């Protein structure tokens, strides 16, 4: 069928800020889809509140609106832009829900806008629990016995009828928010309450628990002619019970025979046909491990995290094809872009094994529960490819960047057998390491299977790795070549083999190279080598023939990606890597990307000339370097992951393009950096470099508390804390030592002041500062968690001059070629440096978009030898935009049970959204709305602050009172507010009798809790409980006075009608 | 024990021996299915060939005997990347290692099957040897490989005597040229009574039994070699009995009616080939296993017209016979292994028999 020519202008809705359950995969899918639409001459209007995405670039869409994802905004946008169609299935659940609301309200019909890709009815049939069940019953496809309930009481009686344990799944939520497994009525009631509230439609499904069954997923596609195909199936190593986003997943399935495989495939295709989906769809099954019985768990009628994974695992671009299908093409009309010979109407065949591992955020939330269940907790994931499962698993482990590289990276040898058994039963992020320990102790497969329900086939693979570990230990220095070969085939890194044999990693490397043992690179070609493929997408393995050819002719650059999305290193760095790659290509370079994140645009098959889907460790990168011999590598765009590889790359003889490695090091090395500051006459908070807790305490005493304690060479302020006492230091150093032992620890005097941030491009001589950003929150809260305002509002002319001066001096002193990011503290007219990062930063995508300066391409051109002037840019501070642009952090606290929500120097946000307007208050208001803080609702709020903030909070409280808020406060706070003339209703503390603060929160009529905890480790338990309960009941919690003030201001000044800004059209800064 | 795979183009792969340690020479072909290794091993169409599995992990779910497609394993040899140390499946009764030994199939594991596949893809299907004797003389082996020809495989795989599979519905004569059991199973599931005939059964004998329909099965080898059978097929064509033919059966019918077949460079073996039904325009993902194809340019359009085509390479995938109740397809509607999407063709056959009455 030819393309539907009536489709001329399409609105694509993105998924908004990165949160747990909705990450970079939708930028990948959305970007691919937009490019696919534009290829067909369609005018694309894009709406997404997330400025850190590639899809919100003006190169990707024709009209770009970085605005809050609310129905009101979409309606307004439709009236303004008049698209003829909406493609709703590419922006995750957020985009889908919005489109559905508009379809159901009749708005779309009224304005002649059609949903393309999939109809509203189809979406409803898949998403609405009751309709889904009916559809499945009509088809004869089994679903676990279940019932939808809308109140707790009915839920309990249904559960009693079905029998415990039951699974509870709220309808229309992200990443299974609020769901869980209940073993008894008490747990059931608790989860129900929460789930009913989180569900967009107030429904929760109570279902027979099929925990322990095999969890199998199929990615299927269908076109308007009814042609159906399967892209990929996947098997979860962790059986049903753990959210697939938190499971170790392998593609294709490993323990299914053809009978089971085809049974489920046929079922998935019947379902997609019955639902009438046109595009991509994900079907999740539970398969009984000892029979052919199965249940359909869930159907996602859209692209998803799994479809991103399936695309990368097979090379089949699901989102691209889905977009073409939405335009009317059939599968047999769409060319397979990888082989360029076959068509999209075929099923990829893998001749390798893919393993995905979740990246969990527990390194950031020490207090959060590590247990895994039906609520997804991972912020990101890594994927690896190898010819064996063991090899793929080993590669995935070291891709996580969690200081793990083998099955003995966590030591459980001191656990008693009984304790080990208990831990085997409780699923958490370290279970495979616990299993490895059990295997070392000789636990039988039967016992392990009984405890974990993990298929014996996977257990045997883990055992093979443990056996190799033991064989290497036994071999010691007498390690024979045959064993070394086998260890490499299983993807044991050199230094791990070194540790096990007692030889050094360097010695292993030497022996390996002497024996000619190098990784071979194989192509991901969608067809198991049946056809010659055109797209160079590679993975490595040992014991094979290499098929990647060294290319020559053009200059060649290696772009190192940023690995898994985690707190502190998000999608921003993928944005930078991709733009840098494109810019290098424009400069005539051949580009090679190395990365391991399946969710990202950078690992799409057609971004770089070549893609190596590999772990980002020195050894893995060395293999590629030896083969490709690049003319240089660029590390300044891939976040800390890439920066960390600098030294290794230099040892390999690869020139670092842009700022030299020794200058990067000078910015990180305390003493060298101090020397530079001194030479430039730039002050910084006094501080020292230490290695032990004792030294840290000495430093703190000399500087005077409070002090900032942090490890060097980390991103996102990992392990950074404000210490007010010796006890704090002991605790913090302990934590730091768990995450980063190799580098020194920094102890700085903590100065309370205004925080300013600058991203600049330097060509080695001159410096361009696109803009100055100011944080709403004062120092003490990580820059990534602060509200950032561009242009900075409260700086004096003198401040501005000093900032520009310092930036220029530092960029020159560090011989920066490319990007530099500097954070300052402004205390009156005094300006101090907090830190300097000679690399791209989190704010680059946002500041690029609002100033209109393509910062990353510019930096890349500078790296290639151009000067700023040559490129048409006058050095110095760029003219301020006419717009205020506010970057608002977005958190995923409700998904992480036990995580403390209070903000501090360690970053906790998972994503960001933008508020943009010519009016500051409107921009601020839009940013809050975009982050999901849509107030007022009930106009009730709670304030509880530490003594030192009572003065300041009074002014904020007054503002809320003026907005009509009823303020509840704990006794001390209430008294203080009263003294300042603000009426507050005193409420009992939570340890006091009911009704108390907790009852108030759980009563569901509170809009907001302002709770400012004391600094230091001594965080009150009360405060923690208040904050957790508030977050889990969906109440907004603010833990900084500055944030609260900003919110009050934005509410006071908000207007009913919000403006819309087309980033692609507005002459931002020029 | 070490084993070697030696190809006609002088490439030597080293690996470990699995199954029988005896030496074998055969035509080397590759199959891209990710599941269904037992179905592949027991598919009689692989008689006279050694199969390379492109999926690297084989034996994961052991041996589930009820999945066998015939009474025994047929390939001359078996070439894989890795065999699973332990199988895991609730139905598994054995390991693939034991199965290969019991069936006396020589095999080799530890081979870079992707490289091997690329050689076959680029140079075409060729002969090869698996041996555990490392002292081979390459030139001598190559000479033997070049001389080797696959012959007589239909005779080897077909049943020796006719037998009946009971059913209450239509009576189908199934010509066993090396049939997979799933074909009879698919007919039985649709209520048919199936009489399985040896490949060389005269047409008269079959027609005299008065079947409602005749199914010409799949089978191994070069279709043109079966000159006697082709003559009998022509007689079946001349009768007015509805005929459905699969794979080799499809080729034999084409040859019987004057068309030609040719050898594909490296064949189609796997479960992912898209086939377009020219009548409806719909595309189905199919299970395939063939090294030869019908040459569409040789068709007499008054006799047969293309009904199905391979979306990837445009080769013929099925024919519709003009003025006859005959349709034939190159791929495998019985699946096993592979997609079950084309099961509807059996229904079409049933309808044809009903209408033929």
Q: Which of B133, B150, B167 is a domain's end point?
A: B150
Kind of pairing, strands A9-13 and A43-47?
parallel
Q: Which of B134, B150, B166 is a domain's end point?
A: B150
- pLDDT for B357 equals 60
Read off the pLDDT of residues A37-55 as tens digits, 9 standing for 90 and up: 999 999 999 999 999 999 9
Shared-domain flag, residues B135 and B176: no
pLDDT of A740 over the 60 cut: no
- Looking at the structure of chain B, the number of domains it has is 2
φ/ψ (deg, to 5) at A787: -80, 125
- pLDDT for A715 equals 58
Quote the minimal CA–CA distance from A164 to chain B in Å.
Answer: 26
Contacting residues of B for A330, CB less than 8 Å apart: 283
Interface test with B, best of A2, A220, A230, A262 (most B CBs within 10 A): A262
Which whole number is the average pLDDT over A1006-1015? Answer: 87
Closest CA to B248 of B282, B279, B215, B277: B215
Where residue A742 falls among pLDDT bands split at 50, 70, 90?
A: low
- pLDDT for A825 equals 94
Quote the minimal CA–CA distance from A289 to chain B in Å.
Answer: 7
- Cβ-nearest to A258 among B35, B86, B281: B35
Rounded CA gap, A634 and A621, in Å? 13
Which whole number is the average pLDDT over A530-555? Answer: 91
Shared-domain flag, residues B95 and B38: yes
CB contact under 8 Å between A457 and B87, yes or no, is yes
Average pLDDT of chain A to the nearest whole number: 92
Among the ranges given (A62-76, A192-206, B187-201), the one the predictor scored with the smallest mean pLDDT: A192-206
Among the ranges given (A18-32, A167-181, A497-511), the one the predictor scored with the smallest mean pLDDT: A167-181
Residue range(s) occupied by CATH 3.40.50.20 in chain A: 9-124, 520-653
Shared-domain flag, residues B139 and B187: no
Residue range(s) occupied by CATH 3.30.470.20 in chain A: 127-143+210-348, 658-683+753-881
Percentage of chain B beyond pLDDT 70 is 100
Q: Cα torsion at A286, A288, A294, A297 (round to 10°)?
A: -20
Helix runs in chain B, H state only: 37-41, 96-102, 113-123, 138-147, 153-157, 181-189, 203-208, 227-238, 248-256, 344-356
Torsion sign across C-alpha atoms B144, B145, B146, B148: positive
CATH number at residue B30: 3.50.30.20
Shared-domain flag, residues B330 and B244: yes
- pLDDT for A713 equals 66
Class of domain A127-143+210-348: alpha beta
Q: Is B290 a catalytic residue?
A: no
Bridge partner residues of B50 (DSSP): B28, B77
| Per-state percent for chain A, helix, strand, coil, to nearest 5 | 40, 20, 40
Read off the pLDDT of residues A252-301 as tens digits, 9 standing for 90 and up: 999 999 999 999 999 999 999 999 999 999 999 999 999 999 999 999 99
- pLDDT for A951 equals 87
Contacting residues of A for B339, CB less than 8 Å apart: 262, 265-266, 347
The interface pTM score, or ipTM, of the predicted complex is 0.97
Q: Determine the 3-state secondary structure of A734 from DSSP.
A: helix
Indicate the angle between helix axes A431-440 and A445-452, nearest 10 degrees. 160
Q: Does domain A356-514 have CATH number 3.30.230.70?
A: no
- pLDDT for A1 equals 65
Which whole number is the average pLDDT over B324-353? Answer: 96
Where residue A997 falls among pLDDT bands split at 50, 70, 90?
A: confident
pLDDT of A843 over the 60 cut: yes
Q: Which CATH number fits domain A936-1039: 2.40.30.20, 2.70.150.10, 3.40.50.150, 3.40.50.1380?
A: 3.40.50.1380
Where residue A337 falls among pLDDT bands split at 50, 70, 90?
A: confident
Shared-domain flag, residues B159 and B144: no
Which whole number is the average pLDDT over A195-209? Answer: 84
Quote the minimal CA–CA distance from B53 to chain A in Å.
Answer: 9
Shared-domain flag, residues B131 and B191: no
Task: Pick left, alpha or beta for residue A1015 (phi over 0 → left; psi -120 to 50 → alpha; otherwise beta).
Answer: beta
Measured between CB atoms, does A353 come within 8 Å of chain B?
A: yes
Shared-domain flag, residues B201 and B140: no
Shared-domain flag, residues B274 and B343: yes
Shared-domain flag, residues B77 and B200: no
- pLDDT for A688 equals 86
Q: Does domain A520-653 have CATH number 3.20.20.60?
A: no
DSSP state, residue B114: H
Q: Is the peptide bond before B337 cis (omega within 30 degrees of 0)?
A: yes
Quote the minimal CA–CA distance from A208 to chain B in Å.
Answer: 23
- pLDDT for B2 equals 96
Torsion sign across C-alpha atoms A1021, A1026, A1028, A1029: positive
Shared-domain flag, residues B337 and B317: yes
pLDDT of B312 over the 80 cut: yes
Percentage of chain A beyond pLDDT 90 is 71
Residues 6 or more apart in contact with residue B147 via CB below 8 angstroms? none
CB contact under 8 Å between A547 and B115, yes or no, is yes
CB contact under 8 Å between A257 and B87, yes or no, is no
pLDDT of B24 over the 60 cut: yes
Where residue B30 falls among pLDDT bands split at 50, 70, 90?
A: very high
| Domain interval for residue B320 | 154-356
Read off the pLDDT of residues A678-709 as tens digits, 9 standing for 90 and up: 999 999 888 888 888 888 899 999 998 888 88
Rounded CA gap, A286 and A289, in Å? 9
Bridge partner residues of B321 (DSSP): B304
Q: Is the peptide bond before A1017 cis (omega within 30 degrees of 0)?
A: no
Contacting residues of A for B13, CB less than 8 Å apart: none
pLDDT of A324 over the 60 cut: yes
Closest CA to A92 of A389, A314, A410, A308: A308
Shared-domain flag, residues B143 and B173: no
Contacting residues of A for B115, CB less than 8 Å apart: 544-545, 547
- Cβ-nearest to B67 among A258, A331, A332: A258
- Counted residue by residue, chain B has a size of 357
Which CATH code is given to the segment(s) A686-750?
Answer: 3.30.1490.20
Which whole number is the average pLDDT over A543-558? Answer: 92
- Cβ-nearest to A349 among B34, B61, B281: B34
Q: Is B334 a catalytic residue?
A: yes
Helix runs in A515-617, H state only: 572-586
Q: Is B247 a catalytic residue?
A: yes
Q: Say if CB B253 and CB B328 are below 8 A apart.
A: yes
DSSP state, residue B215: E
Average pLDDT of chain B to the nearest whole number: 96
pLDDT of A744 over the 70 cut: yes
Read off the pLDDT of residues A951-970 as tens digits, 9 standing for 90 and up: 899 999 999 999 999 999 98
Where residue A1069 falls among pLDDT bands split at 50, 70, 90?
A: very low
Where residue A1019 falls among pLDDT bands split at 50, 70, 90?
A: low
User: How many CB atoms within 10 Å of residue A871?
Assistant: 15
Q: Say if CB A391 and CB A934 are below 8 A apart.
A: no
Catalytic residue among B8, B27, B317, B334: B334
Where residue A1070 falls among pLDDT bands split at 50, 70, 90?
A: very low
CB contact under 8 Å between B121 and A255, yes or no, is no
Which CATH code is given to the segment(s) A658-683+753-881?
Answer: 3.30.470.20
Class of domain A145-209: alpha beta
- pLDDT for A367 equals 81
Among the ranges given (A108-122, B42-56, B181-195), the one the predictor scored with the smallest mean pLDDT: A108-122
Read off the pLDDT of residues A296-319 as tens digits, 9 standing for 90 and up: 999 999 889 999 999 999 999 999
Q: Which of B120, B150, B180 is a domain's end point?
A: B150
Where residue B324 falls among pLDDT bands split at 50, 70, 90?
A: very high
CB contact under 8 Å between B114 and A528, yes or no, is yes
- pLDDT for A1015 equals 64
Read off the pLDDT of residues B230-249 as tens digits, 9 standing for 90 and up: 999 999 999 999 999 999 99
Catalytic residue among B27, B39, B69, B247: B247
Which CATH code is given to the segment(s) A9-124?
Answer: 3.40.50.20
φ/ψ (deg, to 5) at A768: -110, 125
Quote the minimal CA–CA distance from B217 to chain A in Å.
Answer: 22
Shared-domain flag, residues B110 and B229: no
Measured between CB atoms, does A527 come within 8 Å of chain B?
A: yes
Interface test with B, best of A530, A533, A540, A546 (most B CBs within 10 A): A530
Rounded CA gap, A706 and A748, in Å? 9
Where residue A764 falls among pLDDT bands split at 50, 70, 90?
A: very high
Which whole number is the average pLDDT over B320-338? Answer: 97
User: How many CB atoms within 10 Å of residue B299?
Assistant: 19
Task: Give first-to-last CA distance, chain A, whole Å.
Answer: 45
Among the ranges given (A109-118, A363-372, A462-471, A831-840), the one the predictor scored with the smallest mean pLDDT: A363-372
Interface test with A, best of B28, B61, B286 (most A CBs within 10 A): B61
pTM greater than 0.90: yes
φ/ψ (deg, to 5) at A55: -65, -20
Read off the pLDDT of residues B262-283 as tens digits, 9 standing for 90 and up: 999 999 999 999 999 999 999 9
């Amino acid at each position: 069928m030819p393309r539907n020519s009536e489709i001329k202008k399409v609105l694509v809705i993105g998924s908004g800020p990165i949160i747990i359950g909705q990450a970079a995969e939708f930028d990948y899918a959305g970007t691919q889809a937009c490019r696919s639409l534009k290829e067909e001459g369609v005018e694309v209007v894009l709406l997404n509140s997330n400025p850190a995405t590639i899809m919100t670039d003006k190169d990707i869409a024709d009209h770009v609106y970085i605005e809050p994802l609310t129905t009101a905004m979409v309606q307004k946008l439709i009236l303004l832009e008049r698209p003829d169609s909406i493609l709703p299935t590419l922006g995750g659940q957020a985009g889908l829900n919005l489109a559905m609301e508009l379809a159901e309200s009749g708005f779309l019909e009224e304005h002649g806008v059609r949903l393309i890709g999939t109809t509203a009815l189809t979406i409803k049939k898949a998403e609405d629990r009751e309709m889904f069940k009916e559809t499945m019953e009509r088809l004869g496809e089994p679903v676990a016995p279940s019932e939808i309930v809308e109140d707790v009481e009915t839920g309990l009686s249904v559960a009693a009828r079905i029998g415990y344990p039951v699974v509870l799944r709220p309808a229309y939520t992200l990443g299974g928010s609020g769901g869980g497994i209940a073993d008894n009525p008490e747990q059931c009631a608790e989860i129900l309450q929460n789930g009913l509230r989180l569900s967009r439609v107030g429904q929760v499904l109570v279902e027979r628990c099929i925990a322990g069954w095999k969890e199998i997923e199929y990615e299927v596609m269908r076109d308007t002619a009814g042609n159906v195909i399967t892209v990929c199936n996947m098997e979860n190593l962790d059986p049903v019970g753990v959210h697939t986003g938190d499971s170790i997943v392998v593609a294709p399935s490993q323990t299914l025979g053809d009978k089971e495989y085809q049974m489920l495939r046929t079922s998935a295709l019947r379902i997609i046909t019955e639902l009438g989906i046109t595009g991509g769809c994900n079907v999740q099954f539970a398969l009984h491990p000892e029979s052919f019985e199965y249940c359909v768990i869930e159907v996602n009628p859209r692209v998803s995290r799994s479809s991103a994974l399936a695309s990368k695992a097979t090379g089949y671009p699901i989102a691209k094809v889905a977009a073409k299908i939405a335009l009317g093409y059939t599968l047999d009309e769409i060319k397979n872009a990888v082989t360029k010979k076959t068509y999209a109407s075929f099923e990829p065949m893998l001749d390798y094994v893919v393993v995905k591992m979740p990246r969990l955020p527990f390194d950031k939330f020490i207090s959060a529960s590590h247990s895994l269940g039906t609520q997804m907790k991972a912020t990101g994931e890594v994927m690896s490819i190898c010819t064996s499962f063991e090899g793929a698993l080993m590669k995935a482990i070291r891709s996580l960047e969690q200081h793990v590289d083998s099955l003995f990276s966590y030591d459980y040898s001191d656990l008693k057998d009984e304790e080990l058994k208990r831990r085997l039963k409780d699923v958490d992020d370290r279970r495979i390491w616990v299993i490895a320990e059990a295997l070392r102790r000789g636990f039988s497969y039967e016992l392990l299977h009984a405890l974990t329900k993990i298929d014996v086939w996977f257990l045997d693979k883990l055992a093979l790795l443990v056996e190799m570990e033991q064989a290497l230990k036994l071999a010691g220095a007498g390690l024979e070549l045959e064993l070394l070969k086998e260890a490499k085939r299983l993807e044991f890194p050199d230094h791990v083999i070194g540790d096990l044999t007692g030889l050094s990693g360097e010695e292993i490397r030497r022996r390996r190279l002497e024996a000619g043992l190098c990784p071979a690179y194989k192509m991901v070609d969608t067809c198991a080598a049946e056809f010659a493929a055109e797209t160079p997408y590679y993975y490595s393995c040992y014991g094979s023939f290499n098929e990647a050819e060294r290319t020559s002719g053009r200059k060649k650059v290696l772009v190192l990606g940023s690995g898994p999305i985690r707190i502190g290193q998000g999608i921003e760095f993928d944005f930078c890597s991709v733009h840098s790659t494109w810019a290098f290509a424009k400069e005539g370079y051949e580009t090679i990307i190395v990365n391991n994140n399946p969710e990202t645009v950078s690992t799409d098959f057609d971004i770089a000339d070549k893609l190596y889907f590999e772990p980002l460790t020195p050894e893995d990168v060395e293999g590629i370097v030896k083969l490709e011999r690049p003319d240089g590598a660029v590390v300044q765009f891939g976040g800390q992951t890439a920066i960390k590889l600098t030294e290794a790359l230099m040892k390999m003889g690869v020139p670092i393009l842009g700022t030299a490695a020794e200058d990067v090091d000078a910015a990180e090395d305390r003493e060298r950096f101090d020397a530079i500051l001194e030479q430039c006459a730039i002050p910084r908070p006094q501080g020292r470099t230490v290695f032990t807790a004792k030294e840290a305490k000495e430093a703190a005493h000399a500087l005077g508390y409070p002090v900032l304690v942090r490890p060097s060479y980390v991103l996102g302020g990992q392990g950074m804390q404000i210490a007010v006492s010796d006890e704090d230091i002991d605790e913090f150093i302990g934590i730091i030592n768990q995450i980063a032992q190799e580098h020194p620890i920094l102890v700085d005097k903590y100065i309370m002041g205004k925080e300013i941030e600058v991203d600049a491009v330097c060509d080695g001589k001159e410096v361009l500062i696109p803009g100055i950003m100011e944080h709403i929150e004062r120092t003490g809260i990580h820059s990534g968690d602060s509200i950032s305002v561009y242009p900075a509002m409260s700086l004096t002319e003198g401040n501005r001059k000093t900032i520009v001066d310092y930036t220029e001096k530092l960029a020159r002193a560090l011989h920066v070629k490319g990007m530099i990011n500097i954070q300052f503290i402004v205390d009156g007219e005094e300006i101090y440096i907090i830190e300097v990062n000679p690399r791209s930063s989190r704010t680059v995508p946002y500041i690029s978009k609002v100033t209109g300066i393509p910062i990353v391409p510019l930096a890349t051109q500078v790296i290639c030898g151009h000067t700023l002037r040559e490129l048409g840019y006058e050095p110095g501070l760029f003219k301020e935009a006419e717009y205020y642009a506010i970057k608002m952090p977005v958190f995923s606290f409700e998904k992480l049970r036990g995580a403390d929500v209070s903000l501090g120097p360690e970053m906790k946000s998972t994503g960001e959204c933008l508020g943009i307007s010519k009016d500051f208050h409107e921009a601020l208001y839009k940013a809050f709305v975009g982050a999901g803080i849509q107030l007022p609702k009930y106009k009730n709020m709670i304030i509880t602050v530490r003594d030192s903030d009572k003065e300041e909070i009074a002014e904020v409280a007054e503002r809320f009172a003026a907005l009509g808020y009823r303020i509840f406060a704990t006794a001390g706070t209430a008294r203080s507010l009263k003294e300042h003339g603000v009426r507050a209703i005193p409420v009992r503390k939570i340890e006091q009798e009911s009704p108390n603060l907790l009852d108030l929160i759980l009563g569901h009529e509170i809009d907001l809790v302002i709770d400012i905890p004391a600094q230091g480790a001594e965080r009150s338990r009360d405060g923690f409980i208040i904050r957790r309960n508030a977050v889990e009941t969906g109440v907004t919690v603010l833990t900084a006075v500055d944030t609260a003030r900003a919110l009050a201001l934005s509410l006071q000044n908000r207007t009913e009608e919000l403006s819309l800004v087309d980033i692609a059209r507005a002459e931002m800064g020029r | 024990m070490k084993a070697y795979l030696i190809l006609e183009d002088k490439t030597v792969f080293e690996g470990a021996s699995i199954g029988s340690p005896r030496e074998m020479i055969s035509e080397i072909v590759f199959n891209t299915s990710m599941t269904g290794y037992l179905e592949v091993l027991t598919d009689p169409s692989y008689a006279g060939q050694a199969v390379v599995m492109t999926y690297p992990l084989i034996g994961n779910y052991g041996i589930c005997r009820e999945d066998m497609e015939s009474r025994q394993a047929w390939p001359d040899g078996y070439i894989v990347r890795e065999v699973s140390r332990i199988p895991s499946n609730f139905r598994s009764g054995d390991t693939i290692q034991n199965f290969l030994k019991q069936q006396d199939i020589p095999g080799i594991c530890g081979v870079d099957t992707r490289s091997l596949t690329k050689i076959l893809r680029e140079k075409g299907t060729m002969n090869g040897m698996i041996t555990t004797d490392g002292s081979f003389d390459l030139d001598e082996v190559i000479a033997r490989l070049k001389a080797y020809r696959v012959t007589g495989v239909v005779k080897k795989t077909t049943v020796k005597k006719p037998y009946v599979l009971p059913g209450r519905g239509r009576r189908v004569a199934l010509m066993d040229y090396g049939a997979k059991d799933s074909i009879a199973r698919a007919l039985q599931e649709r209520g048919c009574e199936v009489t399985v005939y040896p490949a060389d059964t005269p047409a008269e004998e079959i027609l005299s039994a008065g079947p409602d329909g005749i199914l010409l099965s799949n089978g191994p080898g070069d279709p043109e070699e079966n000159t006697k059978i082709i003559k009998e097929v022509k007689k079946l064509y001349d009768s007015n009995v509805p005929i459905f033919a699969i794979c080799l059966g499809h080729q034999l019918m084409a040859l019987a009616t004057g068309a030609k077949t040719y050898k594909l460079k490296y064949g189609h073996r796997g479960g992912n080939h898209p086939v377009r039904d020219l009548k409806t325009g719909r595309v189905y993902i199919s299970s395939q296993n063939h090294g030869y194809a019908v040459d569409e340019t040789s068709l007499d359009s008054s006799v047969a017209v293309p009904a199905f085509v391979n979306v990837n390479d445009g080769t013929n995938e099925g024919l519709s016979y003009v003025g006859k109740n005959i349709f034939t397809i190159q791929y495998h509607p019985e699946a096993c292994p592979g997609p079950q999407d084309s099961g509807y063709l059996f229904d079409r056959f049933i309808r044809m028999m009903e209408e033929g009455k």
